[in-house]
């Protein structure tokens, strides 16, 4: 039996009767602009799963697993993939070689780590939500969501 997975605080979506995601992609956009200066499906660290038929959309972000398999699988652990004082795994892009092993190790479906694909190997980088580490205003997706349907969980069990 799979062990009970524990998470640190992470970005979650509220229930529709609290606030309903309109599917505008502002979370993805703000994430890309704040961190990369661009909007791109390859850059964002939060993902909008759109249901074209029902228009009930789902926001996905890293759930900050306590056992952090992504970190454990990084060949440059503590150099490219590091853990901060809150226990949150973050990526040091200078050292990241874009091998994709962290993404492969992600236990979530869909995986919560993005990967920049490029012919230029130096441009290949992993992107992962670290709750906008060091940003005074907190996570950009929460700050800019027009319908306030995102918040940071207090930690929970799956």
Partner 1 sequence: MSELYGYVGSIVRINLTESTFELIPTSKYVPKYIGGRTVCNRIFWDEVAPGTGAFDPENKLIYMTGPTGATGIPTGGRSVFTGISPNSYPEQYAWSGIGGFVGAELKFAGFDGFILEGKAPTHTRILIQDGTVQFLPADDLWGMLVHDTQDALEKIHGPKVQSIVIGPAGENLMRNATLTTSNDNVAAKSGFGAVFGSKNLKAISILGSGAVKPADIPRVFELRRRMGDPYMRKTPVVPETTHGMDGNMIPVEGGWGRGQVACSHGCNQHCNRLMMGIKSAFSDEKINQVEKCVGIFAYGYKEDCSWRPSQTYETPENHVLACKMLSCEPPEPGLDDPYFEDLMKPVRGDIVNFWKPDFDKGAVMMNMCNEYGIDKWDVIVWYFTWLSMAKQEGLLDDLDFGMEVDVENEEFVRYFLDMITYRRGKYGPIFAEGMARAIRTLGKEKYGDAIYHGRFSQELGGKRLDLPVSLETAWGHSYHWQGRGFEGTISKPGWLATSLELMTSTRDAQTIAHHHDKYTNFLQYKDDPCHSDLLLDAVVLDENKAEMKDSVMCCDWQSPDLWWPEMESVMYTAATGIPMTQEELNEAAERSRLLFRAIIIRNFGRDRDMEVNAIFPTMQYPDAHGETVTWEDWNDFVDLYYEKRGWDKATGWPTRETYEKYGLADVADELEKAGKLPQ
Q: Is residue 135 at the binding interface for partner 1, with CB under 8 A as the rule?
A: no
What lies within 8 Å, CB to CB, of 64 at 6+ separation is 7, 8, 9, 10, 87, 88, 89, 129, 131
Q: Name the DSSP letter for residue 154.
A: -
Closest CA to 102 of 64, 67, 71: 71
| Maximum alpha-carbon separation in the chain | 46
What lies within 8 Å, CB to CB, of 96 at 6+ separation is 76, 80, 81, 125, 126
Closest distance of CB 12 from partner 1, Å: 14
Q: Is residue 123 at the binding interface for partner 1, with CB under 8 A as the rule?
A: no
With CB under 8 A as the contact rule, which of the stretches 34-42, 61-69, 70-78, 101-109 interacts with partner 1?
34-42
Q: Is residue 124 at the binding interface for partner 1, with CB under 8 A as the rule?
A: no
Cα–Cα distance measured from residue 126 to residue 103, given in angstroms and rounded to the nearest whole number: 8
Give the one residue of 133, 146, 153, 158 binding partner 1; rule: CB under 8 A: 146
Closest distance of CB 75 from partner 1, Å: 24
Give the one residue of 25, 62, 65, 131 binding partner 1; rule: CB under 8 A: 25
Residues 49-68 that bind partner 1 (CB under 8 A): 49-50, 52-56
User: The tokens of 46 are what?
Assistant: 């939060």
Q: Identify which of residues 17 and 85 has a Cβ nearer to partner 1 in the complex.
A: 17
Using CB under 8 A, list all residues that contact partner 1: 14, 16-20, 22-26, 29-30, 32-33, 36-43, 49-50, 52-56, 117, 144, 146-149
């Amino acid at each position: 039996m799979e062990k009970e997975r524990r998470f640190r605080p992470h970005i979650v979506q509220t229930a529709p009767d609290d606030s309903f995601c309109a599917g505008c992609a502002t979370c993805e956009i703000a994430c890309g602009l704040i961190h990369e200066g661009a909007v791109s499906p390859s850059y964002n660290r939060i993902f909008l799963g759109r249901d074209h038929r029902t228009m009930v959309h789902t926001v996905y972000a890293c759930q900050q697993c306590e056992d952090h398999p992504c970190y454990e699988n990084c060949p440059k652990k503590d150099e490219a993939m590091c853990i901060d004082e809150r226990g949150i795994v973050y990526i040091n892009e200078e050292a990241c070689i874009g091998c994709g092993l962290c993404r492969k190790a992600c236990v979530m479906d869909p995986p919560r780590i993005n990967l920049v694909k490029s012919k230029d190997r130096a441009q290949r980088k992993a992107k992962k939500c670290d709750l906008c580490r060091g940003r005074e205003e907190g996570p950009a997706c929460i700050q800019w969501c027009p319908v306030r349907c995102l918040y940071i969980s207090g930690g929970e069990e799956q």
